[in-house]
Amino acid sequence: MTIDRGEPVGRRGQWLRAGRATAELEEWVVGPVHAPYTTDALVDLAPDPGPWSQRRLLAVVGATGPDDVAATLRWAGEHGVAVVVVDPQGARPRRDAMDRPTVAISLSRVDRVRLDADGATVRAGVGAAFPAVHRVAQAHRAAPSDLLCRRGTVGHGVDGLTRCGVTLVTGDGVIHHLGTGGGDRDLWWAHRVRPDRVGVVTEVVLDPWDTTVRFGRPAWSAGDEARLATIRRRHDPDRVLG
């Protein structure tokens, strides 16, 4: 399938494009794919009903994990489609004005919480509720941080806790496991200095028992804008994420 950017933008043309996109995306991802303006799509868009949702939206993908996000981004790159991400999430790519057909990714289903093999950290999907993280941590070791008792999801306000790493999906559809212990150092730097500019965060690695070390961002210097632009071009050559 090819999404023709020159197709008419009227309602009939919109529905034809949306129908084709929805049918094809259903074969790429595990989670549900909703056509725009359906009840299911509106429910997934509800946390963040941006103006983009009213224009050239082709589908809403209910991602269940980084594999779904990666598959959607690869599909979008092949077809000249832009991607926006609906809250909750740890860092959102900028929403530049997009004149292309667009697919929205909902991350509310990315809510798995598990203890790392070493028992020192917890991996939590950005859609997970903080109380769920608290329960997993408490089941392993007593007295996790009271900060985990807050309301909301991991994707909101996670900087208040120690963050040891993230799972990040870049615009080229590649899944990266970043952090102080390994991964692409340039991407880890870019995520820390400008988390709204690179990739889609699907999971964070937290130390629920340590409240003394906070997630810090490196200082921003004069040449860093050019460095960041180079990293973005390398990992999102089609500007799928804007």
Q: Which of 173, 141, 171, 162 is nearest to 212 (CA)?
A: 162
Domain termination residue (choose one: 61, 86, 106): 106
Examine the domain organization and report whether 81 and 131 are in the same domain: no
pLDDT at residue number 110 = 95
CB 29, CB 72: distance < 8 Å: yes
Same domain as 231, residue 120: yes
CA distance 242 to 238: 9
In whole angstroms, give the CA distance from residue 192 to residue 159. Answer: 11
Residue 15: the pLDDT is: 60
Averaged pLDDT, groups of 10, the chain, 242 residues long:
46 69 94 93 82 73 97 95 76 54 93 89 91 86 74 76 87 93 88 86 88 71 90 94 86
The answer to whether residues 183 and 227 belong to one domain is yes
- Could you identify the residue written with the tokens 């667009």? 102
Let me know whether 47 and 131 are in one domain.
no
How many residues in total does the chain contain?
242
- Assess whether 168 and 218 both reside in one domain: yes
Domain presence at residue 2: no
CB atoms inside a 10 Å sphere around CB 111: 19
Last residue of a domain, one of 46, 76, 106: 106
pLDDT digits (tens, 9 = 90+) for 28-72: 999 999 998 899 998 998 877 665 555 688 999 999 999 999 999
Strand ranges (E), 36-174 = 57-62, 82-86, 102-106, 113-115, 122-125, 163-169
CATH number at residue 128: 3.30.465.10
Residue at 242 is within a domain: no
Whether 5 is covered by a domain: the verdict is no
DSSP single-letter state for residue 218 = P
Residue 144 lies in a domain: yes
Total domain count for the chain?
Answer: 2
Residue 123's domain spans which residues? Answer: 113-235
Domain boundary among 75, 91, 106: 106
* Residue 9, token pair as written in the block: 């933008």
CATH number, position 33:
3.30.43
**Count of CB atoms situated within 10 Å of the CB of 232:** 21
Q: Is 53 inside a domain boundary?
A: yes
- Alpha-carbon distance 222 to 73, whole Å? 31
**Residue 41 backbone dihedrals phi, psi, to 5 degrees:** -65, -45
Task: Report DSSP letters for 115-131, one per residue.
Answer: E-TTSS-EEEETTSBHH
